[in-house]
Chains A and B, each alone.
Chain A
Amino acid sequence: MSDPTLLVLASLSEGDKHGYAMMEDIERFTGLRLGPGTLYGAITRLEERGWIKPVKADDRRRPYTLTATGREYLKTQLGVLERVLKTAGRRLKHA
């Protein structure tokens, strides 16, 4: 699960965050540190698709929030991942 867009969605599912907070959070739960370019590439794509949106900021650091369609998309992707993990686990047991 190293798709940066999915990692950003997973990070925002906990609550609104700005770029740096997302980087820290993602590193905490995956051990991966996204580069700033990679992170903002993912943010750009997610905002274009309407899965996240910016919220008002008091300074230059702009937080983002998950939209309803973004949340639905994340749920669908997690469902797929869960099935993949269950199938792979089951198959590894029998191997």
Chain B
Amino acid sequence: MKPLTRFAAKLYPRSWRERYGAEFEALLDGTGADPRIALNVFREAIGMQVQSWKAIGSAGLLGAAALCLTSWSVGQNPYSTPGTQLVFRQDSNLGAMVGFLVFLVSIVGGLVSSILRQDGRSPAAKRVRWASAGTIIVYLASVLLVSLLTPRTIVSIGDSYCYDIWCIGVRSLNATPQGKNILYTARVRIFSDANRVSTSRAMDFLYARDDQGRRFPLIQDSSVIPADVTISPGESVETSMMFIAPANVRKLYLTGDYGAMPWVSLFFGSDMSPLHRRTLLGLR
């Protein structure tokens, strides 16, 4: 029965075994091979495991609840830009650099780990592998955390927003009542943030939406410069965009289905990160 008792002793939490394992083994050496002893050790080991899970689970639940509450509170207070012709960007150079650095670390870590394993240094290879994986996990968790705790940015009329090198800013908004609806005409400036390459967006990627998430598609108007106009480096065009929304809409925004490259969503501060509150261009 001793092997069963020793197996049961291995079921204690690791931290407990590190502290009491040796002396407990010594005690088991002096006890008989009674099945009741194995049962007693098994019962206590499971009890200790449940206790440690409870503590970890409670701390995790408490942390998650605090995070949700803080995130909800942050979401209640969006940041409105001052409307003084400032330009806000969907991503940041620093965020992209940190992301690239983490990518580089994981690649180098993987290579070093492979070399160490081939050299027969398995424990060292394992440590490097774990360190690389840990770096990636901590990085991704931080990106999610930053996204959760960042308030939404509302780009005010007068300011501009850049998606990659394609930028747009609302200059003014006219409202013409049409029965129960209102025809809105937004004067916008589309410009390029690039130094060398031209840029354009698909015609239908922009749309208007209200604070309840209702979408209002733009009305195609052949008499104005289309939204999918190709912009050369440094070029800027003025055009207008029209859409109809019900008169009872309280808040209106211009936004788009940007369709970011997958890796962009893994950068700090990117508008495309999971859980990030996407920047909107405020209309009213």
Residues of A with Cβ closer than 8 Å to B?
18-20, 23, 35-41, 43-44, 57, 59-62
Q: In the complex the two chains form, is A18's CB within 8 Å of B23's CB?
A: yes
**Chain B binding surface, main DSSP class:** helix
Ranked nearest first, the 7 interchain pairs of A and B with the lowest CB-CB distance are: A35-B40, A37-B44, A60-B26, A19-B27, A37-B41, A62-B23, A37-B40
Q: In the complex the two chains form, is A36's CB within 8 Å of B27's CB?
A: yes
Do A36 and B23 contact each other (CB < 8 Å), given the known contacts A41-B44, A41-B48, A44-B16? no
B126 CB-CB contact with A under 8 Å:
no
B31 CB-CB contact with A under 8 Å:
yes
Q: In the complex the two chains form, is B26's CB within 8 Å of A19's CB?
A: yes
Cα A36 to Cα B40 with chains together (Å): 7
CB contact list, B21-41 vs A, under 8 A: 22-28, 30-31, 36-37, 40-41
Q: In the complex the two chains form, is B25's CB within 8 Å of A35's CB?
A: no
Do A38 and B44 contact each other (CB < 8 Å), given the known contacts A60-B25, A62-B23? yes
Q: Chain B contacts of A40 at CB under 8 A?
A: 20, 24, 27, 44
B43 CB-CB contact with A under 8 Å:
yes
Q: Chain B contacts of A37 at CB under 8 A?
A: 8, 40-45
Cα A23 to Cα B23 with chains together (Å): 14
Cα A60 to Cα B20 with chains together (Å): 10
Q: In the complex the two chains form, is A61's CB within 8 Å of B27's CB?
A: yes
Q: Chain A contacts of B5 at CB under 8 A?
A: 36
Q: Chain A contacts of B48 at CB under 8 A?
A: 41, 44
Q: Chain B contacts of A18 at CB under 8 A?
A: 23, 26-27
Q: Chain A contacts of B23 at CB under 8 A?
A: 18-19, 57, 60-62
Q: Chain B contacts of A20 at CB under 8 A?
A: 26-27, 30-31
CB contact list, B122-136 vs A, under 8 A: none
Q: Among B41, B44, B45, find the residue whose CB has the most chain A CB atoms closer than 10 A.
A: B44
Do A36 and B26 contact each other (CB < 8 Å), given the known contacts A41-B47, A41-B48, A44-B16? no
Cα A62 to Cα B23 with chains together (Å): 6
